[in-house]
Chains A and B, each alone.
Chain A
Amino acid sequence: MDILIGGFLLGGTYALMALGLQLQYGVARIMNLANGEMLVAGAFGAFWFYSGFQMRPFLAIVLIVPLAFVVNWAIYHYLLTPLVRRAKSRGQLEVDGILATFGMSFILVGLMLAVFGGEYFSYSYLERAVFVLEQPYGLNRIAAFCASLVFCIALVVWLSHTRSGLALRAVAVNPTAAGLVAIKVARTSAIAFAIGGAVTASGGALLSMFLTFDASIGVIFTLKALIIVILGGVGEIRGTVAAAFLLGLAETAVASLVDPGLTLAAAYLLFIVVLLVRPRGLFGSRS
């Protein structure tokens, strides 16, 4: 039972970071391998505001989100648009995007190492225990979970029920057709990438409330986000959320039943099994 709840709590934040990647890949067609570093940057941001200014993480997020939006918009506008222009096909853009963001991930790690150093970081905030079904859980974890849930719901509602959300999905499905209905495709892609980055960074800030992190841990989160996106199916928002909870559950189960050192191995195994059984993802329907 506590595996179930623990997995659920973890899944919430996972969902948030994977939705960020989903927006970047689904709409802007950039499989962002620097996604994990953006998450770690968010975590460092929250840490810095908390330790430097005693600012509560929830307040820090209010500052981190617009900051991350601007940074990611700039990354897309200045670094990725040339690749989009150069690409002759979607396949080529994917490859170029992977390589470019891959380089960026190293740069981000390098920058964070230079600023913060290579140690492990954590801070204590809301460290009281809360009892759910007679089991103790950190209040910080529950708070982070609730915040993620609110963000996720807001995102899903925005995407499926507003004109701008629909425009975003239109670009994801068929950029040429989107241009034909007067959607500004380049701008929409940039916005989607920026929102994706901001969402991921907010996920990092929330994770930092209860997780120890260091400058080079990003690749692990990139892998997890990628696994979730693929499990859920590219472009499938609900699938992503479901896959995030599944992964959170699987990891918690392996960590508490087998060994905490094998969580990534478990995630990876899950990924392989699903890929072999359902190559389009658990909830994917695209042909």
Chain B
Amino acid sequence: MGMLEIRDLSISYGQHRAVEKASLRVAKGEIVVILGANGAGKSSILRAAAGLLPAMPGSSFEMNGRDITNCPPDEFVEAGIALVPEDRAIFAELTVQENLKLGAYPKRARKKAPDNLARVLALFPRLAERPRQRVQTMSGGEQQMVAIGRAMMSAPAILLLDEPSLGLSPLLCSELFRSLARIRSTEIGILLVEQNAKRALAIADRGYVLENGCVTASDRSEVLSSDERVRKAYLGSDGSSINLR
């Protein structure tokens, strides 16, 4: 069973402790959301889980039972972890086709590239329409598709998504969440950091609440959504819209 297991993850920037002994796991075919205020350390966890940030001694990462702690980023990818960071990190000057081709650069993905390509293009038909377009000329929503599509080309077992809906219009946002549900159905696990907590909890199976770098709650998403504290902090006062008049 494909599973990412993060144990006792601590991250610090100089003197500042960003994350303190956080333990999380994601299994294949499930969506797990991390809730938390800005600066709570959500992005740091994702970046560390992709091997981009050094974790402090005592932290450990295990992928399918294999220890990948302290490995360089490319080995995290080879182990089956793909990150779509907040700034999307696409190759803006290259074409859609080249971006997807680069997604299949990891050795684990090379053989399965044609299958994965078919899968990505089925998920995002718009990418099939313009393979030769330079990504920088595409709209924000389309660029997000390229970013997620490229991550899926690396045949990941676990997809890490950092604020995928940031800057997307409500329409594109709905589209995005529908695609996430479809991605889950292909047996990929998703670890999601999302500002739009309401929608994220609606599609997630489980969730973690992160406060000042510590995991303070973890439960099934239905339980979290009905938790009064969570509702207040992340879902707005009445859970639907903010009314300050």
Contacts and interface: CB of A to CB of B under 8 A. Distances in A.
A235 B93 contact: yes
B82 A287 contact: no
A182 B105 contact: yes
A181 interface: yes
B2 interface: no
B136 A166 contact: no
Given A179-B52, A179-B74, A184-B72, A287 B102 contact: no
B41 interface: no
Interface stretch (B25-33, B84-92, B207-215): B84-92
A180 B98 contact: no
Contacts of A287: 136
A192 interface: no
Interface residues of A, number: 20
A248 B77 CA distance: 46
Interface residues of B, number: 28
B74 A173 contact: no
A209 interface: no
B74 A182 contact: yes
B136 A177 contact: no
B148 interface: no
A85 interface: no
B206 interface: no
B94 A182 contact: no
18 contacts: A166-B98, A166-B101, A166-B102, A169-B94, A173-B91, A173-B94, A177-B90, A179-B52, A180-B82, A180-B151, A181-B102, A181-B105, A181-B106, A181-B150, A181-B154, A182-B73, A182-B107, A183-B102
Interface of A: 163, 166-167, 169-170, 173-174, 176-184, 235, 285-287
Given A177-B90, A178-B91, A184-B72, 20 more contacts: A166-B102, A167-B102, A169-B98, A170-B102, A170-B105, A176-B85, A177-B89, A179-B52, A180-B73, A180-B77, A180-B82, A180-B83, A181-B77, A181-B103, A181-B106, A182-B105, A184-B74, A235-B93, A285-B93, A287-B136
Instruction: Kindly list the 4 A-B residue pairs having the minimum CB-CB distance in the complex, ordered from nearest.
Output: A177-B89, A182-B106, A182-B77, A182-B74
